[in-house]
Amino acid sequence: MLRISQLLVDLYGCGAELDDTGFLMGVLEEAADVVGARIVRRVAERFSPVGVSVVLILAETHLSVHTWPELGYAAVDVFFCSEGKDPHRAWEVIKGALRPESFEVREIVRTIGNKGE
Amino acid sequence: MLRISQLLVDLYGCGAELDDTGFLMGVLEEAADVVGARIVRRVAERFSPVGVSVVLILAETHLSVHTWPELGYAAVDVFFCSEGKDPHRAWEVIKGALRPESFEVREIVRTIGNKGE
């Protein structure tokens, strides 16, 4: 049994380029690296006319960002199912890169594994 | 501005085969279909010795499942950034397929877009 924190963050008024797939991929890679998470798959999808989804599948679950560049909005999920990988450190990397004017962080504690153990 | 509900669900004691990538992909596809979400990318990853991650990138954000077959545990995220797509309907499909003995559903209301609008 493992109790971990997942972060769901809404970012408003981002100063960064939210329609740049390569940039967003790099941001998530850096966020994974800072906590020592292992990236097993990189997925990026561009929408028409604008908008990007980037997901990193990790050995420790996932990191995702979905953007609405026309609104300056991004939705970020930070989910590390491993002890000692602080999602707040990853979020700090993402915040520094996307430069939101404001944001809302929700921290959800999840019990991974067998509740009885 | 759009307010939507995201569901984070922990499933314990699942009766279904949690190491079967094709099965899990089919479950998420059905969950997307039931609400009329449009699938733009299917991603599946198997871990050694066991464990599966399946993510569907949707026009309306994402659906994901990560499994620990040895524990009968699965972590499901249902995130539809679109009005009229009820995440509870998708969760009912997933619950029916994975057959957990118990589960915990967290519903997080997110404000998508521009908070001021």
Write out the DSSP string of chain B: -EEEEEEEEEEES--S-TT-HHHHHHHHHHHHHHHTPPEEEEEEEE-SSS-EEEEEEETTEEEEEEEEGGGTEEEEEEEE-STT--HHHHHHHHHHHH--SEEEEEEEEEEES-TT-
- Whether the ω angle into residue B49 lies within 30 degrees of 0, i.e. cis, is yes
Under the banding of pLDDT at 50, 70 and 90, the label for residue B116 is low
Residue among A60, A106, A107, A109 with most chain B CBs within 10 A, to mutate: A106
Contact assignment for B41 to A45 by CB distance below 8 Å = yes
CB contact A82 to B (< 8 Å):
no
Testing the interface with B: which of A2, A12, A78 to mutate, by most B Cβ within 10 A?
A12
Residue A69, preceding peptide bond in cis (omega within 30° of 0) = no
* Exposed / middle / buried, residue A11 (Cβ in 10 Å: 0-12, 13-18, 19+): buried
Chain A partners within 8 Å of B12 (Cβ): 114-115
pLDDT in tens, A31-87: 999 999 999 999 999 999 999 999 999 999 999 999 999 999 999 999 999 888 999
Count of CB pairs separated by less than 8 Å, A with B: 96
Q: Is some CB atom of chain A closer than 8 A to the CB atom of B21?
A: no
pLDDT at A84: 87
**Model pTM?**
0.95
The per-residue b/e assignment along B72-96, b for 16 or more CB within 10 angstroms, e otherwise, is bbbbbbbbbbbeebebeebbebbbe
CB A103 within 8 A of CB A7: no
Q: What token pair was written down for A95?
A: 């915040």
C-alpha to C-alpha distance for B58 and B80, rounded to whole angstroms: 8
Q: What is the ipTM of this complex?
A: 0.94
Mean pLDDT of A105-113: 94
CB–CB contact B12 A114 (8 Å):
yes
pLDDT tens per residue, range A3-15: 999 999 999 999 9
Q: DSSP class of residue A2? A: E
With CB atoms and an 8 Å threshold, state whether A114 touches B73: yes
| Nearest-CB residue to B43 (from A41, A106, A113) | A41
Closest CA to A9 of A74, A98, A72: A74
What pLDDT does residue B113 have?
87
pLDDT at B27 over 90: yes
Res B61 pLDDT > 70: yes
Residues in B touching A110 (Cβ below 8 Å) = 8, 10, 75, 104, 106
Token digits of residue A54: 């980037």
In the block, tokens 């019990």 appear at: A111
> How many helices and strands (H and E) does chain A possess?
2, 6
The answer, yes or no, to whether residue B115 has pLDDT greater than 80, is no
Answer whether residue A93 shows pLDDT above 60: yes
Q: How far apart are CA B101 and CA B87, in angstroms?
A: 21
Å between B11 CA and nearest CA of chain A: 9
Give the DSSP H/E element, type plus range, for residue A35: helix A21-35
3-class state of residue A58 by DSSP: strand
The answer to whether residue B117 scores a pLDDT higher than 60 is no
Confidence of residue B88 (pLDDT cuts 50, 70, 90): very high
